[in-house]
Amino acid sequence: MGRFARAGATMGALSLMASLALTGCGDDQKKAEFVGGAPAAASSSVAAESGTASAEPTRSPAPTLKVSPADGAKNKAVSTEISAKIPEGGKVTDVTLTASDGDKVEGRWRADGSSWVPNSALKYGTRYTATVTAAGEGGETRQGASTFTTMAKPKSMITSGLYLFSDKTYGVGMPVVTEFHPGIPAKDRAAVQKRMFVRTDPPQPGAWHWVSNGTQAYYRAPEYWKAGTTITVRIALAGIPLSNGKYGNVDRSATAKIGRSFVMKVDNATKKMTVTQDGQVIRTIPVSLGKKSTPSSSGTMVVMEKLESTVFDTRDDPDPANRYVTEIDFAQRLTWGGEYIHAAPWSEHVQGRRNVSHGCVNVSMAQGKWLFSQTKVGDPITIKGTERKLVPGNGWTAWSLSWSEFVKGSALPVPQEGSGPALA
């Protein structure tokens, strides 16, 4: 198996957003209600020309909505969201959020209606005014406003990444992969996950799963994505406070496409790869897997990166027998540990009969070139029957678990049909 740096592992678009305690939703999550009660009558004396006085009722100001953050609040996180107490049966009709320089902030409601989420992180050290308008069950209109100030930019931030690029097309097994350094503490993951938004078109259920001590989280559906799906992701991490004294660094987002269905399956018993496209077997390829001392991993992986030509350098391996420097063609990474599909002309004479590799899936030069021309990052490959099981987190291992096992890794309850935090 080849071992070299994660050259790009496409962490570029890195975007991980986390969510903490919905700092903008306010501390009071009680049942919504109007604040102020019904108008009260009062009287005043008015002198008439006749010298008599008459009592004329006056109404108190219409009750207003209680908006969160509270008016005058300071040092709010730039991940703040807007909410308000509304009457039972009432409905919010408008939310405006404006910075002190007059810039208007656009946003969207969460699908569950719990709060209004700005489309991008707020600015540090800036005063904002939020105005919320709602209609009561009887049609009466109520309004509330709040002016608050965001905190100064923090000095200690985590780094994060999103392995998904806009305007790219991926395989049906491509999970949404987020990465955090250092990892997100367990007590913070639910709040962070609330700020990790995924939308699919056509709609498909999905869930998040945390791995590797909170350093990664994957989002996937119960089955591979439908061919032609559009995935829109926003990891709204900027400014989210964490319990370790650090804050999220930036918001990241991407909109990507899923291409045709292209699935590879390798059986160690037959030492053959079966390639299926859109449900039809299109090719069977002889392979040589890892020998017993360096077995290939059994499990479902996905193509993480493609290198038409590279060099495998394992001179740092503690076992002298596994040290080598070899030029490799048509390499497709499957794990961080260095397992690849690649052309191996030196083992063509045993491919389909015997395992001789250091853990990689060896194919002939001709088959390696063909596979390389067909695959996309995110195309899944399942290997079965080897001496070693795939380690979670060694690659994008979202599909190595059943759906029932996968949802156990969510920091938030997952409905039976599956879903992540969503915006309306």
Q: CA–CA separation, 150 vs 318, rounded Å? A: 52
pLDDT at 18: 33
Residue 387 within a domain: yes
Boundary residue ending a domain (110, 128, 149): 149
Nearest to 225 by CA among 193, 254, 252, 263: 263
Same domain, 266 and 393: yes
Q: Residue 59: what pLDDT? A: 42
Residue 295 lies inside a defined structural domain of this protein: yes
Phi (first) and psi of residue 409, to 5 degrees? -85, 5
Domain presence at residue 79: yes
Instruction: Convert the pLDDT of each residue in 12-27 to its tens digit.
Output: 333 333 332 333 333 3
In a domain, 389, yes or no: yes
Between 8 and 112, where is the model more confident? 112
Q: Helical H runs in 171-219?
A: 189-193
Q: Considering its fold, how many domains does the chain have in total? A: 2
Please give the pLDDT value at position 169.
Answer: 98
CATH code at position 328: 2.40.440.10
**pLDDT value at position 38?**
29
List C-alpha distances in Å: 423 to 24, 116, 119, 232.
Answer: 16, 9, 10, 11
At 8, the pLDDT band (50, 70, 90 cuts) reads: very low
Task: Reply yes or no on whether the pLDDT at 424 is more than 70.
Answer: yes
Confidence of residue 226 (pLDDT cuts 50, 70, 90): very high
**Mean of the per-residue pLDDT values for the chain?**
85
pLDDT beyond 90 at 309:
yes
C-alpha span between 193 and 186 (Å, rounded)? 11
In a domain, 177, yes or no: no
pLDDT in tens, 320-364: 776 767 899 999 999 999 999 999 999 999 999 999 999 999 999
**74 domain-assigned:** yes
CATH number at residue 143: 2.60.40.3780
| Residue 120 within any structural domain of the chain | yes
CB 78 within 8 A of CB 96: no
How long a stretch of residues is the chain? 424
Residue 240 forms part of a structural domain: no
Domain region containing 392: 262-397
- 170, two tokens: 């991926």
